[in-house]
Each structure stands twice: as structure tokens, then as C-alpha cells.
Amino acid sequence: MSFGKQLSLLGLQLPSRLPTLWVKRLVLYASDRDNKIIRDIPLQPGMNIVWSTSQSPSSGSLGGHNAGKTSFCRLLRYCLGENSYGTDKNQKQIASLFPDGMVGAEIEANGNTWAVARSFKSDGKKMAIPDGALEELLGCVNPEPFQNFVNYIEQVCLSRFSVSTFAKHGQPIRWGHVLSWLTRDQEARFTEFHQFRSPRSNSHAPIFPKSKEDAHTLLRSALHLLNSDSEMDQEKIQEINKKLRSVRREQAKRQQESGYWDQELTRRLREKLDIPADEMISWDSADLFDHSIRQRYKERIAELDCTTASHQKEISRIQNDINENNRRVGGIDLELGKVKSILEARRRFFREMEGVSNKSANDPEEEWRAVDCTPVGIKIIECPLAREKWAQEKRRQDNKSIVDLKEYGNRRWEDHQTKGGADDLSDLERQAADLELQKQEIEQRLRDLPIQRKQEEDRLRQVEKRAQSLTDLATEAEYWRNRRQLRNTESRQREETKKTLEKEKTSIGAHIYLMEENHRDRIRLFSSLFNAIVQEVLAADVRGRIQLDGETALFSLSGNQSTLGEATTSLSIALGDISSLLFALWQDTPLPGFLIHDSPRDADMAEGLYHNFLLFINWLQEGFCSDKIIPYQYIITTTTPPPLQLQSDSWVKLHLNSDDPEGTLFK
């Protein structure tokens, strides 16, 4: 069969270099103590066939199964960093047969050869050395941890991926995810592109939480079909739009605020300064208060100051009146007290004298008690001096003083009777009444004056408030004019910012368009490559299609059903993997040129199609790779005999036979 026509038309070219990642050698050791080798399997760039056969169906093996081809793939994966090399049952059996056994490999990554080795026991040794062979590793006293090798591969293979995380859940893309794609489980049966691992294999590989979406992200990131630059540019545009919205909102807010304060302060200035409506007030002038407005302001302030002084003077006068009237009330109270005391004393004296005149003479002391000591009517018994004098006289048993006092009282009484004592009392009563009236008049004034003072104080506060309000308005207006000039500067800056953002948005938009156009061209190229490979392997009337426009990756075949047979899904996935491998090499994307297919024919692929598939891979290696330097390594296991021209040792790197104990992997 002739190959190459479709690919030549497409212009496919492969680089003249060795694969970024490939396995040079796989060695099974029965024991790490004496380094006894069970198998030493050399591998090469290009196609490597592991062929398992069975001559006798009665042996219990079906067509080469159970010889160890899947274990071979699993051990390769184990050396490349996967956490297990078989089902739990198989691992226990192998570890019990070879308790000190190990698997080792020499792996070239980015031009550096690493020797790695891992024990068949899950908790056993695992070690590596760079730039060395397995023999050096097993004899090394201080090898590096195996994880150093895994970290190195991860750096080599993932550093150029378009994205470093899965979009749906944000978990990082790890080397284990890529390894799952490049080394599909045989148990997965090539049924769907995203099913890299089967739960039955116990691979303990990294989980894809969103298997379809994550596989889609992995493929597009590895092949640079994920327009991350465009996505980043879209994020930039979203950020620019966010900034533009913020600038526009701020601009509208400031304009609304400026309009409000222009109108409000203009209204208040006209109201406070009586500025006519036809007189212009400019908020953009260098000096808000021009000559006429400033003169109005000064006159209004002077008027308010004059009113303030007048109210203060009146308040001071009222306070002086209050003080003077309080003094007069005090004097009247003093005078009134004296008058009332005299009046009361005289009334009491006359009452007592009238009572004495009606009494017969008694004991001199009793008479003495009825006599006043002074003209103001204080009883002798109540006067300390008179009482002391009386006591002295009494000790002398001399009643002459008492008699004298009595005579004094009698003289007062005679005077009262002869001079008209009633008139004297009336004068005192009139004098007291006049004083009471004066006091009432002054007290009424004292009640009125604080009210007048408070009224004046209220008027003063109103004037002061008006003056302060006018001063505050002038300060506020001047502040707003200055602030408005600053706002105008800020507004111009916002306009400049808007222009800059709009310009940047336009530039990024143009870049996005070019990037997306380039992105679409790359997807079309990948789809064309897949279609060309499908037609090379199958027929010109068969079409291959790739769908990458949703959240899943889908490889499909359509055309003559008699040509396709039953296994269109498994064939489309196998050809999709090959197309991904070749596209990565052609377009220099970070997907390593390494691929393992474990028994794709077991997925019911027709034998003729399967042979065409293998012959196409051979043609790529023989006739398409320049200078015989093959930039990929493709390992395939099969129980179906390969085409005759591919059954030599140049292609078949491991020939297993389930009928012969020496023909199994662990012979």
C-alpha cells in the first residue's frame, strides 16, 4: 500500500531530532543483591512492537494473552512515575516471587539519560541518577530520590503547556495526567478519548475530577490549541471594561455633584447677598468674588456686625437694670424690715400696757416682766443687759431698779395715751405699705427684664448665626471653586484615561482577532492532519473529524462502513493519539514524542485495518523521517501477528509466548 499522498499535500514535516522523552532500556532484576537479570529489553526511537503469541489454544492462554505484554507496559509506566505496575493481585504475586526484585530503566529526557530503579515491593527501594546507566545506579552508594527524576520530567514536559491548571476546578496539571494519556490502560478498551485509565487496573494514577472536560483541556494545552493568550487578552479586556465603567461612573457622579453644588451655592449666594438673577456668577473664574459680589459681602457683614453691637449694648443695659433693681430691692427689704420691727414692737408694747393697767399690783418681778426694756418693745426678760442688771439688783435685794424700769414703762404708756399712739402706728403702717408697693413694682420689673434680655440674646444669636452662615457660605463657595478647578483637572485626567483605555482595548481586540484566527487555523490544521492520516490508513472516501469547540475532545470517522468495519471508535482514538503525537512534533508543542498503545486490536479492530495502521507507522519511520533520525517513540503490544515485513527484530523488541514458561515476561 502506498502512503504519503495526503500528508505531502498537507505539508507535514517532522523535526530531525531524537524524542524529548523515550525509554532506551527496560531491565527486570530477580534480586538487587546480585543484580541477577530476568530480562533486559532494549528499545529504540520509532516503533517498538511487543508481540505475544500462543501456538496451542488448549494451553489456557487465548492467543498470546497472559504472557506479560500488559505487565511490560505497566512496568514502563512504573519507571516513568506511576504508583503501581499491576493490579493489587499481580503485584503481590510478583513481589512474592521476587522479594528482592526490581525493575530498572534508562530513560532519556530532553537529551539527559536517567537511570531509574524501583522495587517490586510498594514500600521498597526507588532511586535514580542522572547521566548514568543502570549498572552505575545499582552500584551507587548515594543515589538521588526517584522523585527527583519525576520532577525533572514534569519540568521538561509541562513547562511549555498553554495552561498549568484545569479550567473547571483549578487543580494543577501534573505529569501523571499526561502519562495517563500517553499510556492508555488496555482495560479501557479505546472506547472514548477521555477514558485513559480503568478502575480495574489499580493504577492509582492522578484523578481527572471532570474526565471529559479535563482530557479536553489536557489535549488542547499540550498541543497549543488552547488559546491561552487570547483568554488572557479577554481577561485584560474585561479588566479594561471594568476600569472604563468605573471611570464613567466616577465622571457621571462628579458631573452630577458639580451641577448640584453650582446651582445650590449660586442660589444661596443670590439669597444671602441679594444678587439679581440676571447677574452672572461664574464658578470657573480665577476669583469667585469679583468686585461687586465682594462689596455686597462686606456691606452685609458690616451691617450684621452693627446689628450685633446694638444687641450687645442693649443686653448690657438690661443687665445693668437688673443689677440696679436687685440692689434697690435689697435696700427696701432692709428698710421694710426695720419699719415692720418697730411697728410690731409698738403694737406689742401697747397691748401689754393695756393688759397691765387692768391688773392689780403683784410681785415686782412679775411687773418687771411686763415692762419693755427699750422703745422697740423688747421685754426686759429678753434683754441680756437688763436681765443681768436685774439679777445684780435682786442679789442685793434691792428692787429700786425694777421700780425705775416700771416707771420708765409707765412714762412710755402715758406718752402713748397723751400723744395719740394710734396715729404713730398708722404712719408706720403707711410707710411699710409704701415700701411693699415699691418692692412689688421693682420685682415686676425684675421679672420682665430677664425676658427682655433673653429676647435680645435670641436676636443676637440670630444675627450672629446669619453672620456665621454668610462667612461659612463664602468659605464654602471659595472652597468649592478651588475644588471645582481640581475636579476639572481630574475630569481631564479621566478623559485621558478613557482614551488610553479605549485605545488599549482596541489594540488588544485586534490582537485577539489575530490570535483567534491563528488559533482557528491551528485547529483546522490539526483536523486536516487527522483527516489525512485517516485517509492514509483507511481510504480516500473516509473522513476524519475532530471536534474541539465544546468542553470535550471528540475524534470521529465517517464514510464507507464496509471499509471502517465495527471498531470505528477504537480506531479513531488510536489514530487521534497518533495525530496528536505528529502534530506536536510538527508544530513544536510540549507534548513529548512518546506513546504506548497496549493491544488496540483487542478492541475488535479489523485485522486488515490493524495491519494498515502498523504499516503506516512503519512508513512514517522509513520514508518520512529525514536522516533516519526519528523524533518519537511508539510502543505497541499485540497478540495479532504484525505484517511480515514488521516481524523482524528491527521492529519486534520483545517476543512473548504464553505457551512457553521461558517465553513469559517473568520467565
- For 356, the grid coordinates are 397691765
How large is the C-alpha radius of gyration of the chain?
60
Instruction: Report angle CA 181, 185, 190 to the nearest 5 degrees.
Output: 80
The pLDDT, as a whole number, for residue 391 is 59
Determine the distance from the C-alpha atom of residue 232 to the mean position of all C-alpha atoms in its chain, rounded to a whole number. Answer: 20
Q: How far apart are CA 23 and CA 106, in angstroms?
A: 6
Look at residues 397, 399, 398 and name the one whose alpha carbon lies nearest to residue 366.
399
**Coil, strand, or helix at residue 538?**
coil
The pLDDT, as a whole number, for residue 373 is 47
Q: How far apart are CA 465 and CA 338, in angstroms?
A: 51
How do strand 102-109 and strand 46-53 relate by DSSP bridges? unpaired
- Answer whether 152's CB lies under 8 Å from 114's CB: yes
- Answer whether 590's CB lies under 8 Å from 222's CB: yes
The pLDDT, as a whole number, for residue 362 is 45
pTM: 0.63
Q: How far apart are CA 198 and CA 31, in angstroms?
A: 31
The pLDDT, as a whole number, for residue 538 is 87
Instruction: Report angle CA 179, 587, 613 to the nearest 5 degrees.
Output: 65
Q: DSSP secondary-structure letter at 379? A: B
**Count of CB atoms situated within 10 Å of the CB of 531:** 20
Sign of CA dihedral 606, 203, 637, 62: negative
Determine the distance from the C-alpha atom of residue 269 to the mean position of all C-alpha atoms in its chain, rounded to a whole number. Answer: 47
Question: What phi and psi, each to the nearest 5 degrees, are found at residue 45?
Answer: -65, 155
Helices (H), 80-191: 88-97, 134-138, 146-158, 175-182
- Answer whether 429's CB lies under 8 Å from 437's CB: no
- Answer whether 579's CB lies under 8 Å from 526's CB: yes
**Coil, strand, or helix at residue 95?**
helix
Question: What phi and psi, each to the nearest 5 degrees, are found at residue 372?
Answer: -75, 150
The pLDDT, as a whole number, for residue 471 is 87
Number of continuous H segments (helices) and E segments (strands) in the chain:
16, 12
Look at residues 160, 115, 120, 147 and name the one whose alpha carbon lies nearest to residue 24.
115
- Answer whether 667's CB lies under 8 Å from 76's CB: no
Phi-psi region of 226 (alpha: psi -120 to 50; beta: other; left: phi over 0): beta
DSSP 427-467: HHHHHHHHHHHHHHHHHHHHHHHHHHHHHHHHHHHHHHHHH
**Coil, strand, or helix at residue 636?**
strand
- Answer whether 79's CB lies under 8 Å from 23's CB: yes
- Answer whether 36's CB lies under 8 Å from 666's CB: no
The pLDDT, as a whole number, for residue 359 is 47
β-sheet bridge partners, residue 544:
557
Q: DSSP secondary-structure letter at 404? A: H
User: How far is the CA of 626 from the CAs of 51, 220, 548, 645, 651, in angstroms?
Assistant: 28, 27, 31, 21, 19
Task: Order across the sheet with 594-598: list the strands.
Answer: 594-598, 633-638, 46-53, 652-657
Q: How far apart are CA 359 and CA 361, in angstroms?
A: 7
Q: DSSP secondary-structure letter at 207? A: P
The mean pLDDT values, 10 residues at a time, for the chain of 667 residues are 73 88 96 90 96 64 67 96 93 94 96 96 93 93 95 94 84 94 90 89 85 88 80 80 90 84 81 77 58 79 91 94 93 90 82 61 46 47 51 53 52 52 77 90 92 92 90 81 79 90 89 81 92 88 84 80 70 93 94 94 76 91 76 94 93 91 87
Q: How far apart are CA 221 and CA 420, in angstroms?
A: 137
DSSP 21-50: EEEEEEEEEEETTTTEEEEEEE--SEEEEE
User: How far is the CA of 515 from the CAs of 236, 421, 484, 511, in angstroms?
Assistant: 14, 132, 45, 6
Look at residues 164, 229, 220 and name the one whose alpha carbon lies nearest to residue 526.
220
Q: How far apart are CA 450 and CA 532, in angstroms?
A: 111
